[in-house]
Amino acid sequence: MTLPEDVTRQITDARQVLEHPSLAIRLADKVGAPLEYLVKKLPGGAQEIIIGATSKALHAALDVALRTLDRSGGQPSDWLHRAAVAATGAAGGAFGLPALAVELPVSLTLMLRSIAAHARAQGEDLGAVATRLECLTVFAYGSPSPGDDAADSAYFAVRAAFARSVSKAAEYVAEQGVAKALGERSAPALVQLIARIAQRVGVSVTDKAAAQLVPVLGAAGGAVVNTIFMQHYQSVGRAHFTIRRLERVHGADEVRRVYDLAGPKG
């Protein structure tokens, strides 16, 4: 079976985004220094603040995902979401690392809504709990955990690793209902899903915090960093849900075959 040229091009374009995330590189370019150097310059106790803020942000995003994601609407308004998240980044950059616990939940929630808009545009049913949780997992793509190697960071490997967690969490919410499920955040199915996402996105949040804390950037730097984050997750979300749409139309095996063929040879 040979897929149409435009479909092959869509798969190739999506692969470029999913396998070559540019978030860290773009952040480093903006602040003019290697991120590894900036991370080492974070103040003592920074990791505890970042871990706490990431967990709080993902729980807030989970609440939004299950309660308020709109299943209706038009095409994604990327620029509106970028403007909103730039404002939150400016506030966070102005007040430094302690503000991360307040700023990050707002920023991730805005990003989640933009991701959901791209999912809807690609034909996903946001009325389904599993789809809403799938939007949340987009934060894990292109956000490597410290133990990743080149093979483990591949898109389909990450996606397979999250598939069971999403399925179990969706089953739990379906059995308990949204209100009860969110009231019992210690439920293993939800804890596992959030923990797995947090492990991956935490690296990117650390980079974000380091970049925002460059003294000469301040509030303006916070706005720029957040805009880069939003653009990154908008691109990743669009690519991820494009692959899912094409799989529904042309079959998962055929899409995967073309995806792999688009990769490096040899």
3-state SS of 169-209 is: HHHHHHHHCHHHHHHCCCCHHHHHHHHHHHHHHHHHHHHHH
Amino acid at 164: R
Q: At what angle do helices 155-176 and 188-212 cross, to 10 degrees?
A: 130
More confident site: 74 or 158: 158
Instruction: Report how far residue 257's alpha carbon sits from residue 217's, in angstroms, rounded to the nearest whole number.
Output: 45
Q: How many CB atoms lie under 10 A from the CB of residue 224?
A: 21
Instruction: Report how far residue 212's alpha carbon sits from residue 90's, in angstroms, rounded to the nearest whole number.
Output: 9
pLDDT for the residue numbered 21: 64
Q: Which 3 state secondary structure label does DSSP give 18?
A: helix
Q: Over the stretch 73-125, which tens digit does the pLDDT of each residue have?
A: 666 777 787 787 777 776 666 566 777 888 888 889 999 999 999 999 999 99
pLDDT for the residue numbered 150: 45
pLDDT tier, 169 (very low <50, low <70, confident <90, very high otherwise):
very high
Q: Which residue has the tokens 């590189």?
A: 25
pLDDT tier, 144 (very low <50, low <70, confident <90, very high otherwise):
low
Query: Which helix or strand (DSSP H or E) is residue 246 part of?
Result: helix 218-250
Ordered alpha helix ranges (H), 122-186: 129-137, 155-176, 178-183
Nearest CA among 162, 183, 163 for reference residue 173: 183
pLDDT tier, 30 (very low <50, low <70, confident <90, very high otherwise):
low
- pLDDT at residue 266 is higher than 60: no
Are the beta carbons of 115 and 233 closer than 8 angstroms?
A: yes
Least confident range of 20-24, 206-210, 247-251: 20-24
Find how far residue 127's CA is from the centre of its chain: 20
Q: Percent helix, strand, coil in the chain (nearest 5)?
A: 75, 0, 25
Tokens for 26, please give them: 């773009």
What does the radius of gyration of the chain's CA atoms come to, in whole angstroms? Answer: 18
Q: Over the stretch 170-212, which tens digit does the pLDDT of each residue have?
A: 999 999 898 888 887 678 899 999 999 998 888 888 888 877 7
